Structure 1
Amino acid sequence: MYATNMNSDLKGVVERISGMYFRIESILSLCMDGFMKHKVAMIDKANAVSLAIHDEENELIGLLSDKAAKATEDKYLIKTLMAVVAHIEMATNGLDGILRCVKEKVNEGVLFSDKGVHEISHLFKETLEITKTAGDAFLTRNEVLKKHITDKYISLGQTVDAYSEEHEDRLIKGICQPRSSSLYLNIVDSLMKVVGHLQQATDKIF
């Protein structure tokens, strides 16, 4: 838990950062639904949430920078919170890339193989679970949650490596077309960037 004697401004920042994690969950859920149901409207909603995160990030970095310049206490906490916000911003940049790919997939009517759809769906669900855990870890600074996120990140990397090999086989056999291959690889890469930055954000608070 964060110190009970933390000033009210920093408590407000912690609450706002917690809200950013919740918004990332919302983007992932909307994007996954848009991907599975081929609905651009869900992607547009997710884009609106993403813009809100970017606006929040700009406000918080400005506020924390001002506090860091004036503070005689809590400087380490302020710098930590700035680092967390920066990683959330970079995770959101990864989400933006996924949203673009899913929107292109829907608008162009690009089809994925059943296996490809299953793999992307699984990665979305795993990323969503990691995001929820990261949000809880941010608020509680629970070491068990931190370890869980690290373990999941490593496990997900291994899963992606296996998926990449299977994807190459599908491409060689002609099951996967070049256009769908490009979108698939970009989505997978961006999901791993999201998870990677959430994992790094978690490391910063311990």
Structure 2
Amino acid sequence: MKEDIIVNIRKMTVILLDMINLVYQGFMENDAHYLNRALNKERVMDDLEKDITALVIRDSKTLDDKGRKGLLLFEQVAQNIERMGDELRYLMERMEIKIAEDLLFSDIGVEQYKDAFEKMRKSVELTVKFLNEDKKELLEMILSNGDDIKETIEKYRTEHLKRLTDGICEPRAANMYFDMLDFTGNIARHCTAIARVYKGK
């Protein structure tokens, strides 16, 4: 019943955090080996999300409206976590191209991307903490950090565009960089979506 769904959601969050760590290592060490390991974990996450959907469909048949509403909340959470895994997969695909084609980012570009990534990681960690501890004050922290990431990524996109027009960055590398920023921001947006679901329940 509900307990099985919660267990699977927690398994998904453990995988998500592992994937984030592996993707970061892959980026910092320019090593696709870490990305391949993360990709294997993403497939497991997809299977867990399917299992949760099946449990929700099965259990909702025997519950009243209030009980079904609670199950649908868990389903929304699982879907958002699974979509974070999708965004990480898109991110890995760009990093693999970057590694294969030996594309280089400027030093300032690397530092700014690391900053955006760490802010995204904070959103994920806060979300996982909330799902484990159910402390409502964490919801505002997730929303606030999400706003911060949005502003950060917009700022870094603008600054990177200037570096591109100034000839500091190669166009191919710049396109990879813009995509990586966007996918990183999308992960944080799914954390924000989870927080909003719980605030509005």
TM-score normalised per structure 2: 0.94
1:140 shift after superposition: 2.4
Give me the whole-angstrom Cα distance separating, in 2, the residues matched to 1:173 and 1:41.
34
User: How many residues end up aligned between the 2 structures?
Assistant: 198
Give me the whole-angstrom Cα distance separating, in 1, the residues matched to 2:55 and 2:3.
13
Answer with 33-42 or 62-71: which moved more.
Answer: 62-71
Residue matched to 1:165: 158
Please, which runs of 5 or more residues in structure 2 have no aligned partner? Answer: none
Give me the whole-angstrom Cα distance separating, in 1, the residues matched to 2:176 and 2:61.
44
Residues 141 and 205 in structure 1, CA contact (< 8 A), matched pair in contact too: no
Q: Which runs of 4+ in 1 moved over 3 A?
A: none
Residue matched to 1:56: 48
1:67 corresponds to 2:34? no
Residues 143 and 195 in structure 2, CA contact (< 8 A), matched pair in contact too: no
Give me the whole-angstrom Cα distance separating, in 1, the residues matched to 2:161 and 2:49.
38
Residue matched to 1:4: none
Residue matched to 2:14: 22
Residue matched to 1:86: 79
| Letter of the structure 2 residue corresponding to residue 181 of structure 1 | A
Residues 80 and 190 in structure 2, CA contact (< 8 A), matched pair in contact too: yes
> 5 Å matches for 1:33-182?
33-72=25-64, 74-182=67-175
1:44 shift after superposition: 0.2
Residues 34 and 40 in structure 1, CA contact (< 8 A), matched pair in contact too: yes
TM-score normalised per structure 1: 0.92
**Secondary structure of the structure 2 residue equivalent to 1:186:** helix
Residues 105 and 173 in structure 2, CA contact (< 8 A), matched pair in contact too: yes
Give me the whole-angstrom Cα distance separating, in 2, the residues matched to 1:22 and 1:55.
14
- Residues 93-146 of structure 1, C-alpha deviation per residue, up to 9 Å, x if partnerless? 111110101111111111111111111111221111211110111122222110
1:191 corresponds to 2:191? no
Residues 28 and 124 in structure 1, CA contact (< 8 A), matched pair in contact too: no
Answer with 64-73 or 153-162: which moved more.
Answer: 64-73
1:55 shift after superposition: 0.9
Give me the whole-angstrom Cα distance separating, in 2, the residues matched to 1:177 and 1:62.
47
1:64 shift after superposition: 0.8
1:204 corresponds to 2:194? no
- Percent identity between matched residues is 20
Two-structure CA RMSD over aligned residues (Å): 1.2
Give me the whole-angstrom Cα distance separating, in 1, the residues matched to 2:57 and 2:191.
22
| Letter of the structure 2 residue corresponding to residue 43 of structure 1 | L
Q: Which has the higher contact order (CA 8 A, sep 6+)?
A: 1
Please, which runs of 5 or more residues in structure 1 have no aligned partner? Answer: 1-8
